[in-house]
Amino acid sequence: MLGQTFQKKIEASSKRNKSKVILALDLEHTDKNILFSKCLEILEKVVSSVCAVKVNRHLILPLDLYDGVKRIITVIHDMGLPTIMDCKINDIGHTNKVIAKHYFDAGFDALIANPFIGWEGGLAPVFELAEKRGKGVILLTYMSHKGAWEGYGQKVLDDSGTERFQYLVFAEKALQWKAAGVIVGATYPEKIREVNSILKGEVSVYSPGVGVQGGKIKEALVAGTNYFIIGRSIIKAEDPYRAVMLFNDIVGSH
C-alpha cells in the first residue's frame, strides 16, 4: 500500500514511545537563529513522548527548506521520529510533482494534500512519486476550523449522481487512492465517526484541533482517531513534556 513505509515508521515510534501525539512544530519568531534554537529545544523536551513531527510554513518560510528545515528534519530522524510536511498540495499535477519532490528530497516522510483538485492532472503524480520513494500522502477530509463546512461540508454529486457531503466523498477517495491517512478535525467527532465508518480501519485518521481549537481527545478517540496533531497546546506550554504526557495519559487511560 502507498505510504506503507511511512505507516510502519509512525506505528513503530507510536509503540516505542507509547504515544499517538504528533507534535506540530509551528513555532514563530522573527530571528532565524532563535527560531531554529527554539525548535531544537522543544524537540529535545518531547522526543520520547511523541510519535512524529509535523512541520508547516511557520518554519519553511523563515528558515528555508534546504537550509534550516532540512537540518531540523535530520535531527528529528536521528531521534527516531518520522516527519510530515503540512503543505496542503493544491495545484495542477506538474506543479504538485515538483512540490512533492522538493519536500521528499528534503527528507519528509509524508505530506498533506488537498483532494479538491482531483486525481487525473492533479494528485496522481504525487501519489506515483510517493509510491516510488516509499513516502506517504495524507488527504485533507474535514479540517478543524469553524469555516470547514463551507468547503468540506458542502453537498456535491458523486460519480453516480447522488447528492452527498464532500467529506464523505473524500473519505472514499482516500480508500480508492490508497492514501496513508486522512485529516479530520478533532473538533468534529461526528465527522470522524462518519469518515471512519467508510475507512473501516484501512486508512488512519489524523486529527488536529485538540486544545486551543476546542477539540477533545476522548471524544475524537472514541469516534475513531488514530493520531492527534497537536501544536500550540504543547509548544506554548510552560512544560512541553508535561503537556504531551497529559495528552498521552488521556489516550492511555481510554
Catalytic residues: 88
DSSP secondary structure string, 34-99? Answer: HHHHHHHHHHHHHTTT-SEEEE-HHHHHHHIIIIIIHHHHHHHHHTT--EEEEEEE-S-HHHHHHH
Angle at 205 between CA 202 and CA 206, to 5 degrees: 145
Q: Whose grid coordinates read 530522524?
A: 77
Distance CA 127, CA 138 (A): 10
